Amino acid sequence: MSRQIRVAWFIFGIAACLQANLFCSNFASAQEWPKKMFETTEHDFGTVARGSDTVYKFEVTNKFVEDIHLASVRSSCGCTTPSIEGNLIKTYEKAYVVAKFNTRAFTGYHSATLTVTIDKPYPAQIQLRVRGNIRGDVVFEPGGINFGTVDQGAQHEKSVRVRYAGRSGWEIKDVVTSNDSSDYYEVELNDLQRRGGVAQYELMVRLKETAPAGYLKDQLVLVTNDSNNPRIPLDIEGRVTPEISVMPENWVLGDVEPGSEVSKKLIVRGKTPFTITKIDCDDCFSFEFGDEAKTTHVVSLNFRAGEQPGQLKKQISIHTDRGETYNATCTAYANIIELSTPESDPDEGTSTAARESDSSLAGNQ
């Protein structure tokens, strides 16, 4: 092989490597935009009982103009079963990637990587990681407290049995809540059996009538005298249906020019007749509603955009004659755009998935 040919092959090899590096760099950059939608990409289940209902939901919020479609999710380990709640996510809406720890089939320490595939508006993947330790000596039956659907203002009770098989003298010393929701629950712990290294308890949990409307996702912690693993979590879930509800819960007004107005309708419903006493929100919103008592109210909403460009998020609070416990809320979103001439640059205040990915994807063409 002549010297000229060897030099030509050498130059070709360098060019190919540079092109490959550029492709990898652009592809990696294109994968970064989905991370902006996730609050977190890792979760530690901690130490949990065998048979416990151990689930974590990764929240996904669409912060872009385009619709986002979550095509699929897969797990690297059978210890965790993944699923998706809400594949199609519109602007400002939320979906969830659900990770269920398989505590009935596995014991010991396990970890898994969940790979989420996005196919619209642009192909991308993001990886989520979970880990935890499943105890084999403590068993919950059933695996957690699930209240199901409960009307606001009603009490509801559920119980779970806790079985332990191990060293003698093991006992539950206390039951505490892991957050500020302790006012919503009453707990009773009964010692059913104690013989040698076997102990059995019945734990009754009562949901109080003061529980707020919405989805319940809380956790009780069993505090034991085990010095190595003293705390065992027990999940609580359910849904308290509101006495007063408003539709839609999220108003997306879209792009609005400064000084322009947008009119919409709100539907406010109750299980029994009620009256709307007032509606609180920013000065840029005005409302019209009747003063008669009925189960369904149609509220006229008018939004007047200010002069300052940017994204707007405002909570609308609807007060009724049923008291503060039975108020309803919804959230309004708008993007006040900056008026521009044809020669000016596009509005930088509007975030799009295209802006996050186009520059890098273009390098692959």
> What is the pLDDT, as a whole number, of residue 2?
56
Strand 42-50 to 124-141 pairing: parallel
User: What token pair was written down for 332?
Assistant: 């309004």
Bridge partners, residue 88, by sequence? 69
Looking at the chain, how many residues does it have? Answer: 365
Backbone angles phi, psi at 309, to 5 degrees: -65, 155
pTM across the whole model: 0.67
Contacts of residue 363, defined as CB under 8 A and 6 or more positions apart, other chains included, come to: 22, 23, 26
> What was the pLDDT predicted at 31?
65
For position 201, what pLDDT does the model report?
95
Can you give the residue ranges of every domain in the chain? 1-30, 37-143, 155-241, 244-359
> What is residue 256's predicted lDDT score, i.e. its pLDDT?
87
Place of tokens 């929240």: 59
Q: Which fold has domain 244-359?
A: Immunoglobulin-like (2.60.40)
CA distance 332 to 315: 6
Tokens representing 62? Answer: 């669409």
Give residue 356's pLDDT.
63
CATH number of the structural domain 37-143: 2.60.40.10
For residues 101 and 132, the answer to whether their CB atoms sit within 8 Å is: yes
Domains 37-143 and 244-359 share a fold: yes
For the domain spanning 155-241, the CATH number is 2.60.40.10
pLDDT digits 0-9 by tens, 209-247: 888 888 888 889 999 999 888 999 999 999 998 888 888
Low-confidence ranges of the chain (pLDDT < 70): 1-31, 180-181, 340-365
The per-residue b/e assignment along 162-183, b for 16 or more CB within 10 angstroms, e otherwise, is bbbeeeeebebeebebeeebee
CA dihedral (47, 48, 50, 54) positive or negative: negative
| Alpha helix ranges (H) inside the chain | 3-30, 353-362
Q: What is the pLDDT of residue 195?
A: 87
The pLDDT of residue 215 is: 86
Cα–Cα distances in angstroms (integers) from residue 183 to residues 208, 209, 238, 244, in the given order: 8, 10, 16, 22
